[in-house]
């Protein structure tokens, strides 16, 4: 089961949707196979946490979902084994009402081209079960600088945006990998946690 949790720290502390004190406990939970945290490029108070976990017995899904919780339905996924990535990025796309299918179709076509042209370390396209208008593109690349510069080696989506723009409710939200461990953030920003993706 894959989940995406969106939250904000705009009030100076994590929202009730996510408590950072639970991170260490979650990483030791055998039901959680992977988790990656991301920070918004535009708004440093906005975060996204992507996780892969066992569906049975997981308390997060047993509770009533909060507004920022999403169960992700995979549309396309590509993963190299073993996974070697120096950077992860996440993009959120929100389709206009009635335009979810065209947005997913365009993104799926992009993913297929990206896999054949760039052979990324990891690439996932999914949409929210709770809010189908929200689509997520999660990318793992080798070159952090290339990703931030949005050059072709990081399979830039610039060529895709003109086609997608009329179907989107607003600009895509771009998130960059933000390690959960403070020491990892301070001393090894180029490293991706072994618990990621």
DSSP state at residue 125: E
User: What three-state secondary structure class fits 84?
Assistant: coil
The predicted pLDDT at position 186 comes to 47
The predicted pLDDT at position 145 comes to 44
Decide if 192 is inside a domain: no
The predicted pLDDT at position 56 comes to 65
φ and ψ of 41, to 5 deg: -70, -35
Decide if 195 is inside a domain: no
Decide if 197 is inside a domain: no
Decide if 81 is inside a domain: yes
Q: Which residues of 36-45 are buried (b: 16+ CB within 10 A; e: fewer)?
A: bbbbbeeeee
Give CA–CA dist 174/81, Å, rounded. 26
The predicted pLDDT at position 89 comes to 86
Instruction: Give strand pairing partners of 137.
Output: 91, 125
The predicted pLDDT at position 120 comes to 74
The predicted pLDDT at position 53 comes to 78
Decide if 46 is inside a domain: yes
Indicate the number of domains in the chain.
1
The residue range of the domain holding 137 is 2-187
Decide if 194 is inside a domain: no
Q: What is the pTM of this model?
A: 0.76
Give CA–CA dist 20/36, Å, rounded. 13
For position 170, which CATH number holds? 3.30.70.100
Q: Output the CA torsion 94→99→101→107 (10° steps).
A: -50
Full pLDDT tens readout for the chain, 197 residues: 889 999 988 765 444 444 444 444 454 455 667 788 999 999 999 999 998 877 665 454 445 556 788 999 999 998 876 555 567 889 999 999 999 999 999 999 998 888 877 777 788 999 999 999 999 999 876 655 444 545 555 557 888 889 999 999 999 999 988 886 544 444 444 456 656 66
Decide if 110 is inside a domain: yes
- CA–CA distance from 60 to each of 6, 45, 55 (Å)? 14, 23, 10
The predicted pLDDT at position 101 comes to 95
Decide if 69 is inside a domain: yes
The predicted pLDDT at position 100 comes to 96
């Amino acid at each position: 089961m894959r989940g995406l949790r969106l939250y904000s720290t705009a009030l100076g502390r994590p929202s009730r949707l996510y408590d950072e004190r639970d991170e260490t406990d979650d990483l030791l939970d055998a039901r959680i196979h992977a988790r990656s945290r991301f920070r918004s490029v535009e708004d440093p108070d906005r975060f996204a946490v992507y996780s892969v976990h066992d569906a049975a017995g997981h308390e997060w899904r047993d509770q009533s979902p909060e507004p920022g919780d999403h169960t992700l339905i995979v549309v396309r996924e590509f993963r190299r084994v073993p996974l070697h990535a120096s950077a992860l990025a996440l993009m959120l796309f929100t389709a206009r009402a009635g335009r979810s299918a065209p947005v997913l179709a365009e993104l799926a076509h992009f993913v297929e081209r990206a896999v054949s042209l760039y052979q990324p370390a990891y690439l996932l396209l999914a949409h929210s079960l709770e809010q189908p208008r929200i689509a997520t593109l999660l990318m793992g690349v080798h070159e952090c600088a290339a990703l931030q510069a949005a050059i072709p080696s990081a399979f830039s989506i610039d060529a895709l945006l003109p086609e997608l723009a009329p179907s989107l409710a607003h600009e895509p939200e771009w998130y960059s990998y933000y390690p959960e461990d403070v020491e990892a953030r301070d001393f090894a920003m180029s490293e991706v946690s072994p618990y990621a993706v």
